[in-house]
Structures are given as structure tokens and as C-alpha cells.
Amino acid sequence: MPLKVHRVGMIRPLKAVLVMAINKADIRVLVKRRLGLAIENETHDDLIGLYIDAVEEGIRNFIHDREVPDGLKQTWAAMAASALFTEQLAVLFPPPDPVEAFETQIGDTTVKPIKPVINTAPPGPSLAAIESVMFDYKSSLIAYRKMRW
């Protein structure tokens, strides 16, 4: 980069380096595409946003930087989609309503159907899911890791 010498003798670069922050709306669109959700459907945007923020924090802590580099845009979206799919599958893609069963009576024994128990994860990312995703994508993140003094 060409340098310019000022009267005082200070040397300054002619062009400033601009660091562009990744727009989280772009990450949300990429996550929705990876999961096969309709982009215009905003039903799960808050939940997706929680996972995007949690993965962003994990990435920033791992690479020791204030911003996620632009080169990790696809990795960030893949990590958030993976964590979402792992924990919130029943929320994102609810199972169809079960076929209603009827009471059955054989002799003096009556059998009543029970309602299925659906385990849903808490409405936010768990530390275990984020750590698992960080481990899975560690090889992609190492290239952007900075030394910490």
C-alpha cells in the first residue's frame, strides 16, 4: 500500500481498510434455506435469531475477534442451522396430529389410548448444542483464529 509522508514526518497509509460486518438478516436467510423453511415465513425468526447470536458469540470467542469475518458467513449459517436442527426439530417441523384411537374393550378389560408425549427442547440454544457445533466446525474456524496475548 502506498504511504504518504506528512510535514510532521508521520507516515500514514493512503487508504483505510474497511471491515464490513456481516448482516444477521443475511445469515437468517441462509439458515432458512439450509433448513428448507420458507424465507418469507417469519414464524421462527426469533428462535433462529437466538441460535444465530449464540453461534456468533461462540465463533467470536474461538477466533478471538470482535467481529465474525466475512469468510465465515457460510460456516456461521451452517453452524446455526445444525444447532437448530439438532435441538428444535419438533418446533421447526411439528409432527402431524396422531390418528385418534378409540377405547377398546375385551371381556372385562378396557384399554384407553394415551396421548403421545412430545419432548420439546427449551426455547433457546443449550450450551451443549453450541459446543458440539463448535467442535464439528473447528477445522473451518482455525484458519481465522488470532493469537491471544
pLDDT of 93 reads 80
- In which residue ranges of the chain is pLDDT below 50? 6, 14-18
Q: Is 109 helix (H, G, I), strand (E, B) or coil?
A: strand
User: What is the reported pLDDT for 122?
Assistant: 63
Residues 6+ away with beta carbon under 8 Å from 83: 51, 54, 55, 125, 129, 130, 132, 133
Using a cut of 0.75, tell me whether the model's pTM lies above it: no
Contact criterion met (CB below 8 Å) for 121 and 87: yes
Give the span between the Cα atoms of 24 and 29, in whole angstroms: 9
Query: In the chain, what percentage of residues exceed pLDDT 90?
Result: 47
Q: What is the spatial distance between Cα 86 and Cα 128, in angstroms, rounded to a whole number?
A: 11
What gap in Å lies between CA 143 and CA 149, rounded to an integer?
18
